């Protein structure tokens, strides 16, 4: 691990056989959202009746409407839970939400470059302060991380999504870094409009992030030459995690009646890019 906080080498206990691990209290999932539907065999041997699943993902999670009151309670978002496959692999009653605020890159196999951020905000889908959240947070804090328990984690989801929904697909389409996108006036304007449309969808769902677009832009610009996770995946020939980041928001716009013309255009371009990558890999 190469970090401004100090470099170090970790030697974790690791196995590719989850049966060797057996039932655990908490599973911290570091997979991409597009891998969730197939991860049942990985997770199942580690479950007991009270096991929680904490997924460190970008975008809209599969559990988004679980534990939420109102007309959308229990609604399934097809973009992130196609046919209910993800809910079958990762039951929503086990989910603890997680939003990660950290900029990192895989610089080489087994080597991580940490640029900034050590916070993992977590929270119950129903907004309660649960014992299982506190237990997990205490473990993260003991490891030197920040792990606040939020009563409205959906607000954090949309705050982070404001950046991901714009920078991730644009970086994949242009190969530009965060600062490159911010300092190019045309793409800066595009980011602003994508963020504005995203906030409209969030507002239609009753969420109003308390952060301005300019402040969100300034935070992204401070990341400098950082490559988004989507661009890193593109360069490594991996599938792109854009369904949860972009397609899901367009689906939520259809659900709530929000007008998102710019998001629809970028989603169409990103979808074509993903299709071309799949064809090239076949």
Distance of CA 229 to the CA centre of its chain: 10
Separation between Cα atoms, residue 63 and residue 68, nearest integer Å: 10
Separation between Cα atoms, residue 28 and residue 40, nearest integer Å: 14
Active-site entry in 71, 160, 227, 238 = 160
Contact 40, 15 (CB under 8 A): no
Q: Specify whether 236 is catalytic.
A: no
Supply the residues annotated as catalytic: 160
């Amino acid at each position: 691990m190469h970090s401004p906080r100090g470099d170090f080498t970790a030697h974790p206990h690791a196995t590719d056989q989850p049966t060797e691990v057996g039932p655990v209290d908490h599973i911290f999932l570091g997979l991409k959202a597009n891998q969730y539907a197939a991860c049942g065999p990985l997770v199942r041997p580690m479950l007991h009746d009270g096991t929680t699943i904490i997924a460190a993902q970008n975008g809209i999670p599969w559990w988004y409407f679980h534990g939420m009151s109102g007309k959308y309670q229990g609604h399934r978002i097809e973009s992130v839970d196609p046919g209910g496959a993800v809910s079958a692999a990762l039951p929503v009653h086990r989910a603890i939400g997680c939003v990660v605020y950290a900029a990192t890159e895989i610089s080489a196999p087994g080597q991580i470059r940490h640029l900034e951020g050590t916070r993992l905000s977590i929270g119950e889908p129903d907004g309660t302060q649960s014992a299982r959240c506190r237990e997990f947070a205490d473990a993260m804090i003991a490891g030197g991380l920040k792990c606040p328990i939020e009563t409205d984690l959906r607000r954090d989801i949309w705050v982070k999504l404001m950046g991901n929904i714009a920078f991730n697909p644009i970086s994949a389409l242009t190969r530009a870094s965060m600062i490159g996108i911010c300092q190019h006036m045309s793409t800066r304007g595009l980011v602003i409009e994508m963020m504005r449309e995203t906030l409209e969808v969030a507002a239609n769902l009753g969420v109003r992030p308390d952060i301005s677009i300019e402040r969100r832009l300034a935070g992204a610009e401070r990341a400098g030459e950082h490559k988004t996770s989507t661009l890193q995946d593109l360069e490594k020939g991996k599938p792109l995690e854009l369904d949860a980041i972009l397609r899901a928001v367009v689906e939520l716009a259809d659900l709530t009646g929000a007008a998102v013309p710019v998001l629809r255009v970028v989603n169409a371009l990103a979808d074509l890019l993903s299709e071309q990558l799949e064809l090239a890999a076949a």
